[in-house]
Amino acid sequence: MKLNLNFVNKVPKIAKDNEIILLTPKIIKSKEIKQLAKSIFNNKLFSEGNFLAKDYNNKSYVFVNCTKSKVSLDFEKLGSKLFVFLKENKKENSFINVENNSFTNVQLEKFLHGAQLKSYNFNLYKTDKKKRFVAVQVRFVEKFISPISLEKIKKNKAISHLPLIKQSRLSVMPVDMKSWKILNNMGKL
């Protein structure tokens, strides 16, 4: 299932029957949901599993237990779990009506971010037909006699194409053989 987030002013007709309600201890505005909330909070599945799908007045609801969520990471994790719940229960075309929820904008953003992250498909090795895991072992071989500072590397025009120069916060990068020899010479190896 692919997650597609749409921010709209009106609830689309296709999603009208599947509403996601994010329940927190704050006051619930909707009378219809207020009536359901009491029985939902008493439901053991809801308190243990965080989610409960319930049909009421020809409408399908997915209730999300947000009472334990305190920090941003909690909301992201809950959003991630909601995505899995919706996927497993084949609940597509659902919507969140912000008027029926007591989330702040930041909480809602983190919640949706968690759901969106869970929806990504991280197949890095798509060319591997046999579904094998690919790993590279790295070991220490030799120490440079003189350390090479980033400043020295930046001054050397012959290796100015390296990602180390162009990208910040880089931990691993490809190095071509010509550049590797230049680095070895700079380190007096």
Query: Does the pLDDT value for residue 127 go beyond 60?
Result: no
Instruction: Report the alpha-carbon distance of residue 180 to residue 45 in Å, rounded.
Output: 59
Q: What is the pTM of this model?
A: 0.56
With pLDDT > 70 as the criterion, what percentage of the chain qualifies? 73
pLDDT in tens, 48-91: 778 888 887 778 888 888 888 888 888 889 888 888 888 888 88
pLDDT digits (tens, 9 = 90+) for 8-50: 556 666 556 677 888 776 656 667 777 777 777 777 777 777 8
Give, in degrees to the nearest 5, the angle at Cα 176 between 174 and 181: 120
Average of pLDDT values for 86-100? 79
- Model pLDDT, residue 125: 47
* Mean pLDDT of all residues in 163-189: 81
| DSSP letters for 73-118 | HHHHHHHHHHHHHHHHTT--S-EE-GGG----HHHHHHHHHHHHHH
